Structure 1
Amino acid sequence: MSSPDYVFLKGHGTENDFVLLPDHDGSIHGDLDPARVRALCDRRAGIGGDGVLRVIRSVVTPDAAGQNAEWFMDYRNADGSVSEMCGNGIRVFGRHLALAGLADPSTPVPVATRDGVKVLTFAGGAANGEITVDMGTPKILEDTQVSIGDQSWPALHVDMGNPHAVAFLDAGADLADIGPLLDPPVHDDAVYPHGVNVEFVVRRGPGHVAMRVHERGSGETRSCGTGACAVMVAAALADGAERDTAYRVDLPGGTLQITWTADDRILMTGPAVILAEGRTSL
């Protein structure tokens, strides 16, 4: 499985962590074999991460066809499967572009994804400040349910470019009550034929919720940006909240601010950090 050494970076957004692979002209990593992704994300024998972000120019990958953005975020889950979007990952991706001088953080930065172009706005300079991502328009779909062991919860299917099942725990419940999320919660295969990200949510106060998440292809993670957006949408609908109301979403790895705007866009704001750079032959 060894190959010539190449550059990698390690970063995280609210402790949702990623291996970044600069591959600007698409000549280094080919089709990014799933076995290589799994090796990179292995937390004992590899670098470790919830997924891999390949940094590639849009003009050299058919996945970005028709999208008006210089850069494409090629995101893979830790198990090697391809994913449409990653909310925390795209902020980390944007931080790298800014730090490497590949994008100007003083202006909005478009990034192509498998769910279309997302636009990033930097609150500070290249290295500092939170990043806001226009995540697009949510799709509110059917009511469904999820279960762990002998417990089941009603859930709302929200699509943020990738599928989510949002389940609210009873008032006064503790998120620890749902037990470990090392195994995938059971879901309706007819509703989610390609798997689903499952969020369990408790209310903390007006415009304030907390969540745990099991991500398809990665297991339980410390944070999920698209999941936090789906949770905000479900909470705002249940609350009858007016548009442009900001919600605070607490995750095990940190806090994200989510707003559902009057023009039907979801804006997600949070930190993004590049931790290290090195070389690997994995």
Structure 2
Amino acid sequence: MTFTWLKGHGTENDFVLLPDHDGRVHGDLDPGFVAVLCHRRRGIGADGVMRVIRADAAGITDAGEAEWFMDYRNADGSLSEMCGNGIRVFVRHLIDEGLVDASAPIPVATRDGVKVIEEAGDRLRVDMGTFVVGEHSDVSVPGHRWPAREVHTGNPHAVVFVGSVDEAGPLTEAPGFDRTVYPEGVNVEFVERRGERHVGMRVHERGSGETRSCGTGACAVGLATALADEVRPTPDAPVRYRVDVPGGTVQVEWTADDHLILEGPAVIVARGEMEWIA
């Protein structure tokens, strides 16, 4: 078959987008097909794939006012509940194509519920919703072991505070973690302090390996750092952290109603047509 694709990124966390508005092009995405598209030598190359489909065409029954559903897959073809960088790229595409009204908040259905996105100049703000904080368990790489804070922000995360993100090593293999705490795998964030309410992080994502950025991970890091700093939001003063990632910078805001807001850039960089030969 021949199909249209686009390539975009948010702080260099990159994605292939597959427009399939009425669900007539791709059907259920085959994991092998997704993995080949994401392969950086045999395919287009990306950290994940998003099918751009209307919620009703995807059979989403709890989409509320959201017309669109972000059907997101990791680079290995596995399903992912949510992607904070990906949803900004997804909405940037919808805005660029005139498929949504950018003058109003834009609801998008995901496997982690409906998220609402707004333009903020050349950046996009995503209300990532609420979160769940768990206990501590150990995370390890060769030669190091640390306690990690369990945080769920649409995806499961283990947040580790280190003296330097270089201590994480090459991250060519997944860090060790407690599978009784994370039976379905986990994204691991290594965090160093860089200033007041300012941190840097590296991340190893389940199903994708080390990536240049992770939106749900940045939210988990911002929250975990605020908890470590013993600061809490008030109605007049949300808690904000700057999170530097290898691919750029995002802002994380913790609001008084316990929502996390992720703000950062998103850009479409290429598009084309591909003939798929199975």
TM over 0.5: yes
Residue identity in the other structure for 1:83? S
Equivalent residue runs for 1:56-135 within 5 Å: 56-62=53-59, 64-68=60-64, 69-124=66-121, 129-135=122-128
What corresponds to 1:147 in structure 2?
140
**Secondary structure at the counterpart of residue 60 of structure 1:** coil
Distance 1:198 1:248 in 2: 18
Distance 1:281 1:40 in 2: 12
Question: Post-superposition shift, 1:60?
Answer: 1.4
**Secondary structure at the counterpart of residue 193 of structure 1:** coil
TM-score, with length taken from structure 1: 0.95
Residue identity in the other structure for 1:228? A
What corresponds to 1:258 in structure 2?
252
Question: Post-superposition shift, 1:166?
Answer: 0.2
Question: Post-superposition shift, 1:281?
Answer: 2.1
Residue identity in the other structure for 2:19? P
What corresponds to 1:136 in structure 2?
129
What corresponds to 1:12 in structure 2?
9
Contact 2:164 2:191 in 1 (8 A): no
Question: Post-superposition shift, 1:199?
Answer: 0.2
Within the candidate set 220, 237, 241, 1:247 is matched to: 241
> What is the percentage of aligned positions where both structures have the same residue?
62
Question: Post-superposition shift, 1:37?
Answer: 0.2
Question: Post-superposition shift, 1:177?
Answer: 2.2
Task: Specify every segment of 5 or more residues in structure 2 that has no aligned partner in the other structure, as ranges.
Answer: none
Deviation per CA, 1:37-69: give whole Å up to 9, x if none. Answer: 01100101110000001000000113x221111
Within the candidate set 15, 23, 29, 2:26 is matched to: 29
What corresponds to 1:168 in structure 2?
161
**Secondary structure at the counterpart of residue 84 of structure 1:** coil
Residue identity in the other structure for 1:67? A
Question: Post-superposition shift, 1:242?
Answer: 3.0
Residue identity in the other structure for 1:281? E
Residue identity in the other structure for 1:234? A
Contact 2:165 2:191 in 1 (8 A): yes
**Secondary structure at the counterpart of residue 26 of structure 1:** coil
Kindly report structure 1 stretches of 4+ aligned residues shifted beyond 2 Å: none
Contact 2:107 2:115 in 1 (8 A): yes
Deviation per CA, 1:206-254: give whole Å up to 9, x if none. Answer: 1000000000000000000000000001000000123102100000000
What corresponds to 1:218 in structure 2?
208
Aligned residues: 271
TM-score, with length taken from structure 2: 0.96
- What is the root-mean-square deviation in Å for CA atoms of aligned residues? 0.8
Distance 1:177 1:148 in 2: 9
Deviation per CA, 1:109-159: give whole Å up to 9, x if none. Answer: 0000000000000123xxxx1000000011101211100123111000000
What corresponds to 1:227 in structure 2?
217
**Secondary structure at the counterpart of residue 91 of structure 2:** helix
Residue identity in the other structure for 2:114? V
